[in-house]
Amino acid sequence: MKRIPIVIINSFYFPVLIGGAEISTKQLAELLANYFEVNIITVGHQTRTVKKEVINDITVWRLPINNIFWLGDIKTKHPLQKIIWHIINAFNIIQYKEIKNLLYEIKPALIHTQNLSGIGVLAWKLGKSLNIPVIHTLRDSSLLRPIKFSVPRYFLRKYNQFFSNNVDGVIGISNYILDEHLKYGFFKNAEKDVIFNSVDEIISIPPKIFLDERKKALSLGYFGRATFDKGVHLLIEAVRQLPVNIIESLIICGEGPDIEFLMKAANGDPRIKFKGKKSVEEIRKLMSQVDLTILPSIVDEAFGRVIIESYIQGTPVCASAIGGIPEIIIDKIFLFEPNSVNSLKLTLKKYYSYTNEQRNLWRNRCYKYSLNFGSHQLLQKHINFYNKFLKVRRK
């Protein structure tokens, strides 16, 4: 039986993995490929012609850049260049025509957009004009805050909000990220749902239990981009202010533009180690070895994927009470005030005060809780949501 063709549109696609959105998009696409004929439309590095390739039985169409530079290089560009890039992105008729030609060729029954930087929200209008149901997943706030500068940001947000009326269904990866967009008048005509991210693999091996009766100092881990907005500098300062009998070590796994500053902030503290970028397998191993994973973000996180990744290893997470994080944290005792070194220190000292028996109980609870975020749940919820629009189209 021929599978129904669908199109997933995202700024990047494997092997280009910039952040959690790309990981989640790849995972979703590969799960859906068991039931649908999945086509990915994304943006490549090339300046001419569409490139076609097949990755894990998924057809990937890479559009030309059709802008003044590739999105992946935006952080290195001058502010004026960024403004020009965003204006072109909003009104990118060339990209619109490229996608239109692909849709005529693929003939999808449904379009599912993710992050649209480099592609543009005109893709939503295109789906409506071709009578193809359009679903959008909110993975971040880029539609609300596409650029830092207030005046162009205001007009671009209004522009995005206007075209969101062409979307038939919208999915938030947290209640927070969905509500934030609805508050600004987005997706007025769309059916709405919340589907949490899942992780690639649920490991059916319970976490390691520590039997040593002596309460030891805590080993901490940070896994993610080494940037100010992730609050890594606050974590470093909290560790430096706590004695060695409470905090034994901190490993920082990840790279980013602020890494040199963060190394200086560590000020030679021998407990703080910078491990650089690690493979998925290495991160899983390191997560299982630390006592706590720390997520100290000071900007809104739509979900906080690292929380569930850590829970799979049976490792509790202390995180900022910001964005969608409180929705998925196992217990509010692990939350601390964003941008507050003192609040983070109090949370760490609280966990340190637990006996080894209590720590082991939390490790088991975290592992069991992670089973709620398996790929089966993600797949089934998406199929159920898709069917609402596929059935309407068949009629």
Is residue 290 predicted with pLDDT exceeding 60? yes
pLDDT (0 to 100) of residue 146: 84
pLDDT (0 to 100) of residue 392: 58
Is residue 193 predicted with pLDDT exceeding 80? yes
Mean pLDDT, the chain, whole residue set: 90
Residues 6+ apart with CB under 8 A from 355: 215
Is residue 393 predicted with pLDDT exceeding 60? no
DSSP three-state, residue 246: coil
Reported as a single tens digit per residue, the pLDDT across 225-249 is 888 889 999 999 999 999 999 999 9
Is residue 207 predicted with pLDDT exceeding 90? no
Do residues 186 and 249 share a domain?
no
Do residues 44 and 188 share a domain?
yes
pLDDT (0 to 100) of residue 105: 95
Average pLDDT, integer, range 251-273 = 91
pLDDT category at 71 given cuts 50, 70, 90 is confident
> Per the structure block, which two tokens stand in for 317?
């997470």
Do residues 290 and 347 share a domain?
yes
pTM: predicted TM-score of the whole model, two decimal places: 0.87
Reported as a single tens digit per residue, the pLDDT across 264-281 is 999 889 999 999 888 888
Radius of gyration for the alpha carbons in the chain, expressed in angstroms and rounded: 22
Is residue 395 predicted with pLDDT exceeding 50? no
User: 207 in a domain, yes or no?
Assistant: no
Do residues 44 and 63 share a domain?
yes
User: 204 in a domain, yes or no?
Assistant: no
pLDDT (0 to 100) of residue 376: 85
Reported as a single tens digit per residue, the pLDDT across 291-325 is 999 999 998 888 888 999 999 999 999 999 999 99
Looking at residue 389, what DSSP letter applies?
A: H
Phi, psi (degrees; rounded to nearest 5) at 212: -60, 125
pLDDT (0 to 100) of residue 203: 54
pLDDT (0 to 100) of residue 152: 85
Q: Show the beta-strand stretches assigned E in the chain.
A: 4-9, 36-43, 51-55, 58-63, 110-113, 134-138, 169-172, 191-194, 218-223, 247-253, 272-276, 292-295, 317-320, 335-336
CATH number, residue 146? 3.40.50.2000
pLDDT (0 to 100) of residue 18: 73
- The 3-state DSSP composition of the chain as helix, strand, coil percent (nearest 5) reads 45, 20, 40
User: 209 in a domain, yes or no?
Assistant: no
Do residues 111 and 228 share a domain?
no
Reported as a single tens digit per residue, the pLDDT across 323-380 is 999 999 999 999 999 999 999 999 999 999 999 889 999 999 999 999 888 888 889 9
pLDDT category at 394 given cuts 50, 70, 90 is very low
Is residue 20 predicted with pLDDT exceeding 90? no
pLDDT category at 53 given cuts 50, 70, 90 is very high
Phi, psi (degrees; rounded to nearest 5) at 357: -65, -45
Is residue 31 predicted with pLDDT exceeding 60? yes
pLDDT (0 to 100) of residue 347: 97
Do residues 327 and 388 share a domain?
no
Do residues 159 and 222 share a domain?
no
Residues 6+ apart with CB under 8 A from 68: 81, 84, 85, 88
User: 236 in a domain, yes or no?
Assistant: yes
Do residues 186 and 283 share a domain?
no
State the residue range of the domain holding 306: 218-373
> Per the structure block, which two tokens stand in for 336?
């601390």
Average pLDDT, integer, range 28-37 = 93
Task: Give the C-alpha separation, 216 to 48, whole Å.
Answer: 59
Reported as a single tens digit per residue, the pLDDT across 130-165 is 999 999 999 999 999 988 788 888 999 999 999 999
Task: Give the C-alpha separation, 32 to 195, whole Å.
Answer: 15
Is residue 200 predicted with pLDDT exceeding 80? no
User: 230 in a domain, yes or no?
Assistant: yes
Q: Report the run of H or E that residue 363 belongs to, with start and end.
A: helix 356-370
**pLDDT top residue among 86 and 168:** 168
Residues 6+ apart with CB under 8 A from 113: 8, 9, 10, 119, 123, 124, 134, 135, 136, 137
> Per the structure block, which two tokens stand in for 98?
């490229």
Task: Give the C-alpha separation, 241 to 130, whole Å.
Answer: 60
Do residues 154 and 293 share a domain?
no
Task: Give the C-alpha separation, 78 to 218, whole Å.
Answer: 42
Phi, psi (degrees; rounded to nearest 5) at 209: -105, 130
Integer CA distances (angstroms), 291 to 162, 216, 366, in order:
47, 10, 12
> Per the structure block, which two tokens stand in for 364?
């088991």
Do residues 36 and 130 share a domain?
yes
Which range, of 2-6, 123-127, 205-209, averages the lowest pLDDT?
205-209
As a residue count, the chain comes to: 395
Q: Strand 191-194: give its sheet, edge to edge.
A: 51-55, 58-63, 36-43, 4-9, 110-113, 134-138, 169-172, 191-194
Q: With contact defined as beta carbons under 8 Å apart, do 394 and 197 qualify? A: no
Average pLDDT, integer, range 208-220 = 72
> Per the structure block, which two tokens stand in for 332?
């509010």
pLDDT category at 22 given cuts 50, 70, 90 is confident
Do residues 163 and 226 share a domain?
no
